[in-house]
């Protein structure tokens, strides 16, 4: 046996100082309601404030880590509401994690999956806080725990979703002029299809070659409507069509993908790895949108990217209008992905009237810059957090 493996050299892991000092001492949650600068419409909901559950983890060595569970329009984009997320973290997840080390990433994920089924936003928020705390305790970026960063900045899209073409054109022009965004995601599916297309054409004709346009129908069309609209979308030079139909309509979505000159992006139809496999096998799309609200954890979201890439699907870094806290958790993973062909869409920190992160996350030259520094690399603005914390 080589010297390295000599018994006297092996210190049982749970006696190693770092494991003792990174034990979870407390997990606290608050619900926050953050007003947005304008209404944000999707086919099936509309918001003028973003509600999150903010998770604060304290370790035995005093390190504090932060995470965020995002929702969009209450339990509308997906089935979790902030009220349920807070209750399930406080009642089931927190007691189960007492005393374990934040460094036991896989074990902690298994513990959470054992005490709550699905609850993906809740689990992802706790896991984000554990990666943040572990990184701060060891002086390492959270990306290091995910294989290390391969990029420092990511092209970032902005969503046009007020439904008012004049306002959306002005907004897009301002983002272009500020060199913050040149890819725009336009929400469709809340008007009738003909009105959707009129609005889209006005925006496309005005922005012309200056911007790249993708559309997100958020499940709002039928197969027949989508097939009918494909030629116009192609003629307008739309670059991606996101989630045209309801999840589960694999064959119908595959028929659209087979007939479309524009790649289809899978969003709500694929939460779990198995969902991704089923969509991949059915050939429903060429791009997958990653989100912590879907994967349930940072490592799981990285695995989701690997499954999609194995099907030849390209990767898009999705969001649920997170604040800088949730955005930083996504960016820690996105920074470490071997492939991220479509950049990301973490515009959330800029659609809130006040972001929850001090100094904010940097948007420059059409890119979002991955926060550097230990853990998620951000500093939570405690005053801003207090301001929007739901009372009672
Ligand atoms: C979605 O369906 O993509 C992300 C951006 C946006 O405007 O809505 C979210 C959810
Ligand atoms: Mg979407």
Nearest CA residue ID for atom 8, ligand 1: 320
> What are the pLDDT digits (tens) for 262-317?
999 999 999 999 999 999 999 999 999 999 999 999 999 999 999 999 999 999 99
The answer to whether residue 386 is domain-embedded is: no
Q: Which percentage of the chain shows pLDDT scores above 70?
A: 96
Q: Hey, whose CA ends up nearest to atom 10 of ligand 1?
A: 320
Instruction: Say yes or no: 183 and 328 in one domain.
Output: yes
Among residues 107, 139, 171, the one where a domain terminates is 139
CA 248 to chain centroid, in Å, comes to 21
Q: What is the mean pLDDT of residues 154-167?
A: 97
Lowest mean pLDDT, pick from 1-5, 81-85, 250-254, 333-337: 1-5
Looking at 139, 163, 196, the residue that finishes a domain is 139
Q: Are the beta carbons of 82 and 54 closer than 8 angstroms?
A: no
For residue 121, report the distance from its CA to the centre of ligand 2, in Å: 16
What pTM does this model have? 0.95
Whether 182 and 261 map to the same domain: the answer is yes
175 and 124 fall within a common domain: no
Top mutation candidate among 38, 39, 42, 78 for ligand 1, by most atoms within 8 Å of CB: 42
Residues 171 and 112 in one domain: no
Q: Is residue 66 part of a domain?
A: yes
Q: Give the number of whichever ligand sits closest to the CA of residue 72.
A: 1
Query: In CATH, what number is assigned to the domain containing residue 370?
Result: 3.20.20.120
Distance between Cα 247 and ligand 2 center (Å): 12
Q: How far apart are CA 295 and CA 125, in angstroms?
A: 11
Where does a domain end: 139, 166, 188?
A: 139
Q: Which of 187, 291, 294, 302 is catalytic?
A: 187
Instruction: Say yes or no: 228 and 186 in one domain.
Output: yes
The predicted-structure confidence for 35-71, as pLDDT tens digits, reads as follows 999 999 999 999 999 999 999 999 999 999 999 999 9
Whether residue 149 lies inside any domain: the answer is yes
Query: Which numbered ligand comes closest to the C-alpha of 78?
Result: 1
CA distance 247 to 39: 25
Tell how far the Cα of 320 is from the centroid of ligand 2, in angstroms: 8
Going from the Cα of 78 to the center of ligand 1, the distance in angstroms, rounded, reads 11
Within 6 A (CB) of ligand 1 lie 42, 72, 77, 159, 161, 216, 218, 267, 318-321, 345
CA dist 95 → 21, 23, 69, 134, 180 (Å): 19, 13, 19, 19, 43
197 and 339 share one domain: yes
Give helix then strand counts, H and E, for the chain.
15, 15
Q: How many domains, in total, are found in the chain?
A: 2
Give the start-end residues of each E strand in the chain: 24-42, 45-59, 64-70, 153-155, 158-160, 183-187, 212-216, 240-242, 264-266, 287-290, 314-317, 357-358, 363-364, 367-369, 379-380
Together in a domain, 241 and 122: no
Is residue 90 within 8 A of residue 59, CB to CB? The reply is no
* 10 has pLDDT over 60: no
Is 345 known to be catalytic? yes
Q: What does the alpha-carbon distance between residue 31 and residue 24 come to, in Å, rounded to a whole number? A: 21
Q: Strand pairing partners for 51?
A: 33
What is the pLDDT averaged over residues 197-209? 95
Q: Kindly write down the DSSP assignment for every residue of 92-145, as one continuous string.
A: IIHHHHTT-BTT-HHHHHHHHHHHSSS-HHHHHHHHHHHHHHHHHHHT-BGGGG
101 with 176, same domain: the answer is no
Same domain, 69 and 214: no
The CATH number linked to 24 is 3.30.390.10
Domain that holds residue 125: 13-139
47 and 152 belong to one structural domain:
no
Note if 180 is an active site residue.
no
Render pLDDT for 171-188 as a digit per residue (tens, 0 to 9): 999 999 999 999 999 999
User: Is residue 60 one of the residues assigned to a domain?
Assistant: yes
């Amino acid at each position: 046996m080589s010297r390295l493996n000599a018994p006297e050299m092996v210190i049982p892991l749970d006696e190693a100082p770092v494991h003792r000092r990174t034990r979870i001492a407390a997990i606290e949650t608050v619900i926050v309601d953050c007003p947005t600068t304008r209404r944000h419409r999707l086919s099936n909901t509309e918001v003028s404030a973003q509600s999150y559950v903010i998770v604060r983890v304290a370790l035995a060595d005093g390190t504090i880590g932060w995470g965020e569970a995002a929702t969009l329009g209450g339990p509308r984009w997906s089935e979790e509401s902030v009220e349920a997320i807070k209750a399930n973290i406080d009642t089931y997840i927190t007691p189960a994690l007492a005393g374990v080390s934040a460094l036991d990433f896989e074990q902690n994920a298994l513990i959470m999956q054992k005490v709550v089924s699905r609850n993906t936003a809740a689990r992802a928020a706790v896991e984000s806080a554990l990666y943040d705390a572990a990184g701060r305790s060891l002086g390492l970026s959270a990306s290091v725990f995910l294989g290390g960063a391969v990029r420092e900045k990511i092209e970032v899209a902005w969503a046009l979703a007020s439904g008012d073409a004049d306002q959306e054109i002005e907004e897009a022009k301002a983002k272009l002029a500020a060199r913050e965004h040149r890819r725009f995601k336009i929400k469709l599916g809340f008007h009738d299809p003909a009105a959707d297309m009129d609005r889209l054409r006005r925006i496309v004709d005005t922005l012309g070659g200056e911007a790249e346009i993708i559309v997100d129908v958020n499940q709002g069309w039928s197969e027949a409507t989508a097939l009918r609209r494909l030629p116009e979308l192609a003629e307008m030079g739309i670059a991606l069509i996101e989630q045209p139909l309801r999840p589960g309509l694999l064959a119908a979505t595959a028929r659209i993908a087979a007939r479309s000159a524009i790649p289809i992006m899978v969003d709500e139809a694929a939460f779990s790895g198995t969902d991704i496999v089923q969509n991949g096998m059915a050939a429903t799309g060429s791009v997958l949108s990653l989100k912590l609200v879907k994967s349930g954890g940072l490592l799981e979201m990285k695995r989701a990217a690997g499954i999609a890439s194995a099907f030849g699907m390209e990767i898009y870094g999705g969001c649920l209008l997170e604040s800088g806290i949730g955005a930083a958790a996504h960016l820690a993973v996105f920074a470490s992905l071997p492939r991220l062909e479509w950049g990301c869409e973490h515009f959330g920190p800029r659609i809130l009237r006040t972001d929850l992160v001090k100094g904010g996350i940097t948007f420059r030259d059409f890119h979002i810059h991955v926060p550097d520094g230990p853990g998620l690399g951000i500093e939570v603005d405690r005053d801003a957090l207090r301001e929007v914390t739901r009372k009672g």
